[in-house]
Structure 1
């Protein structure tokens, strides 16, 4: 009787152990779903998105690549109509919809629009999702610029340009709520970066700084 009871307990513990990976995957499922939604919304290959991006690139063409990014950001910011999503509902408008129907939405939509436009211009761009636990705190865009484009600003504007470095350049913050290009990072301690093709990865923002 005692052996049978121990056997049942052992089987139960084994089932619990085997279920742990499944439970872990379920807890991380929101990240996969969110990355897919963002990838669908950032439709930078759309004809009208590419056309508008080409227009912006021509209108604000500059030898100084960071200055060009600033001018395009300012242009979009000035034309942007801020509209909140209904409370408790998060909707990601497609970049093509915003280009066709007017530049409007919340800060998440601004991130999707500006990242899509820069990507359509040929500049690497990504979406950053700042969160704490399983709660999303903020979503914003970043554009990658080569080190040569950022070097002139390293000494002259140390407090106004914020970026994350890798070996060849930096990701510059394009947050609608940070007061302009290169503003301070907002949100939680953890960040999920989403490529516009749906790939995603997690980092600690403190580690990346």
Structure 2
């Protein structure tokens, strides 16, 4: 069997010879595509030596480019064959509407955005958190099946980003961001009565889009859940804010790309994306009323309790 494979390889191998200087150009382009994300990983995880003009980072990048270039040249024939097969796969995926060139481009950009905007999120260990205050009242107030709440959430999805081309994988995420935008644009902060913790139902808050932090969190959670999302509320002592489940690391990269490059470009320009990940490795995005975009800065880093609404 091994001999047959070798014979087949010897027959097709001459067809993959690339004339100079195109072989060097292909290897250089591939080198850059590999080196940039690797350098970002090293840059974020290695200690900054604080050399003048960031010379330590420049040295790392130069060494990385040299090592990758050497490896690609040693494996030049295998590399070129692999690239050819990969291109055929992408052409086939593009033609049948599956994983093609556009998806590769979007995934690569998403990865770069995520690497550039890592705020070193806190790992929330759920088992160590305190009981959520007024838990039964809050759950009852999240009226995600109430027709008024559902209709408002649907209205938000038609008002914002409805012309944005999307697919089944990220449609729900975009629609949840539309809900965030509409509530954010309307929200008016009003304190509770003195000496009383007033918890308004989501349908009640819809009348004037006014209330304090827990009223906002309850309304946001109800609307997110009404269109199929998974929200949770975070208790920080003097503040409650909502988060939405993003999912895996790849889902987070997609969310960051959508926020910074598509949907909230001005609001998030030059800003970091803030999120948490739980003990199961799932990522949650901040949707606080104090944030101008999904994943905006946390009002408080202290976390005392959480309530997942699924």
Give the alignment's TM-score, normalised by structure 2. 0.46
Q: Runs of 4 or more off by more than 6 Å in structure 1?
A: none
- Tell me which residue corresponds to 1:90: 197
After superposition, the Cα gap between the structure-2 partners of 1:189 and 1:107, relative to the gap in structure 1 and judged at 3 Å, is closer
Tell me, which stretches of 5 or more residues in structure 2 are unaligned? 1-129, 261-267
C-alpha distance after superposition, 1:28-85 (max 9, x if no partner): xx93661111101111111211122122223334425555444432221221222111
- Tell me which residue corresponds to 1:187: 300
Whether the 8 Å CA contact 1:57–1:121 is kept in 2: the answer is no
After superposition, the Cα gap between the structure-2 partners of 1:189 and 1:88, relative to the gap in structure 1 and judged at 3 Å, is same
Q: CA deviation at 1:95?
A: 0.3
Tell me, which stretches of 5 or more residues in structure 1 are unaligned? 1-29, 132-136, 198-209
After superposition, the Cα gap between the structure-2 partners of 1:150 and 1:174, relative to the gap in structure 1 and judged at 3 Å, is same
Q: CA deviation at 1:164?
A: 1.6
Q: Distance in 1 between matches of 2:152 and 2:221?
A: 13
After superposition, the Cα gap between the structure-2 partners of 1:112 and 1:32, relative to the gap in structure 1 and judged at 3 Å, is closer
Whether the 8 Å CA contact 1:39–1:195 is kept in 2: the answer is no
Q: Where do 1:1-209 residues align within 5 Å?
A: 31=131, 34-60=134-160, 61=162, 62=164, 63=166, 68-99=175-206, 101-131=207-237, 137-147=238-248, 148-152=250-254, 153=256, 159-166=271-278, 169-187=282-300, 189-196=302-309
Greater Rg by CA: 2
After superposition, the Cα gap between the structure-2 partners of 1:71 and 1:47, relative to the gap in structure 1 and judged at 3 Å, is closer
Q: CA deviation at 1:180?
A: 3.2
Give the alignment's TM-score, normalised by structure 1. 0.65
Q: Distance in 2 between matches of 1:183 and 1:58?
A: 23
Higher helix share: 2
